[in-house]
Amino acid sequence: MKPSDLPSDISSDLLVAEASRCVACGLCLPHCPTYRITLSEADSPRGRIALMGGVASGRIPMNARFALHIDRCLTCRACEAVCPNHVNYGKLVDGTRAMMLASPSNLLKERTVMRKSWFRRWAESKLITKPTRLDALRPLVRFYQKTGLQTVVRKSGLLGETGFAVLERQLPHVDLPFAFLGKKRAANTWQTVYPSTGHPRGEVGLFLGCIARLTDAATLNSTIFVLNHLGYTVHVPPTQTCCGALHQHSGDVHTSAQLARQNMKAFDGLNLRAIVSTASGCGLQLTEYPVPVSTEEQRSEEPLQSQPTENFSSKAMDISAFLATAGGWGDIQVTPLPHKIMVHEPCSLRNTWHGAAHPYALLARIPGAQVTPLAGNDQCCGAAGTYFLDQPEMAKILLRDKIAALDASGARYLATSNVGCAMHIAGALRDTGLDIEVLHPVTLLARQMVIKN
């Protein structure tokens, strides 16, 4: 592939320039999960940067061997966090994947190149980008779980070792969104506004995400509950959609840009102190809006009317970070929990958002809790969006280390701030029979809260 073959909204010159900033010092190597497994220079950040720069400049062919090493990257960005020259590895690898996606014909001739199944392609284009359709699946999934079909399917091995079987094994209990008015549950949908029940302190927006709105309603409910009782009115715009991280990290910058614009429009015009996210990967993606879009797309979109798009990313916050400095805690009593709580630090929160300390501060509000970092927090758990589906063997090796650390911990709870990590780890804990509950820090705190009348 030649640089001239790139789409108009991707610059090979920028990729080459960013790659050339790497001085090949090697400080990133011990922080790279895949390098620690393979010990191959081509599976290290330094090696990948050299490969990406070579392909972007036309010095190296884009072939199956190149794709293999790029596909193995988790995009955990641990290398970026320790780089002394501040190479923006995240943008570099995303741009490279866009370059690969732009010219798939030659690569797909190679049998070793990763291919998505028709179901994956359909799900990413028809479900993930339209999360209200995921809401429509909720009654079916709950029927599947409540009738015992899930137990039968899991015991039968009917799904074999397919990617769908991996997803099914990770499926947690699916809850319903709360409608707090009248203390009743909503049938299947989220309210647009959840008014504060405490002393009014402001208004915030809640970003639901896509998968989380189906599989992690418990965390979203807990977030609304805590914010409301601290005095914050919570807005949940119904037109919000997927954050776009999944598409951006797979090279589909066009879809990612479309989703970014839709989310910015969804929250436009609201007088919000913050836009909070309960999934660190989604929240990080929001902070990196606006994303580049093609000239043609810019012409086709109507401009936002009131809230400048450049202010959107500055309002995006992780829920733990927001609650760490929120007011109203004096009106709330938290009951003791004399158990050991291990804290898993998702890569997005630790390496790029630099907010790993906030969940600890939140859990410290629970009297008697023994809050301890999970050993190996500097290494990815292997979930990494859809990495556990795309690179199952590498993901299993990384996950095995987490399960071993949890087995040795003696903990009753594992708190993590990313729904993908939670599902990945919880599924493995169920398979190994370890009685450790995996949940979001805000969910655990909400359970312990006693509201003073």
In this model, does residue 1 exceed pLDDT 60?
Answer: no
For the 329-451 domain, the top CATH level (class) is alpha beta
Least trusted range by pLDDT, from 74-83, 278-287, 443-452: 443-452
Distance CA 221, CA 230 (A): 14
- Please confirm whether the linkage preceding 61 is cis (ω < 30° from 0): no
In this model, does residue 412 exceed pLDDT 50?
Answer: yes
Q: Are 426 and 170 in contact (CB under 8 A)?
A: yes
- The mean pLDDT value for 257-263 works out to 93
User: Which of the two residues, 104 and 58, has the higher pLDDT score?
Assistant: 58
Are domains 3-107 and 329-451 of this chain identical in fold?
A: no
- 3-19 tens-digit pLDDT: 444 444 467 888 999 99
Distance CA 27, CA 5 (A): 34
- 368-392 tens-digit pLDDT: 999 999 999 999 999 999 999 999 9
Tell me what pLDDT residue 266 has: 94
- 38-59 tens-digit pLDDT: 999 999 999 999 999 999 999 9
Tell me what pLDDT residue 128 has: 84
Tell me what pLDDT residue 305 has: 40
Least trusted range by pLDDT, from 115-124, 163-172, 413-422: 115-124
Q: Span 3-107: which CATH code?
A: 1.10.1060.10
- 425-451 tens-digit pLDDT: 999 999 999 999 999 999 999 999 987
Tell me what pLDDT residue 261 has: 93
Phi, psi (5° rounding) for residue 141? Answer: -65, -40
The domains of the chain are located at 3-107, 132-325, 329-451
Question: Considering the chain, what percentage of its residues have pLDDT values greater than 90?
Answer: 66
Instruction: Work out the pLDDT band at 181, boundaries 50, 70, 90.
Output: very low
Task: Look over the chain and give the mean of its residue pLDDT values, rounded to a whole number.
Answer: 87
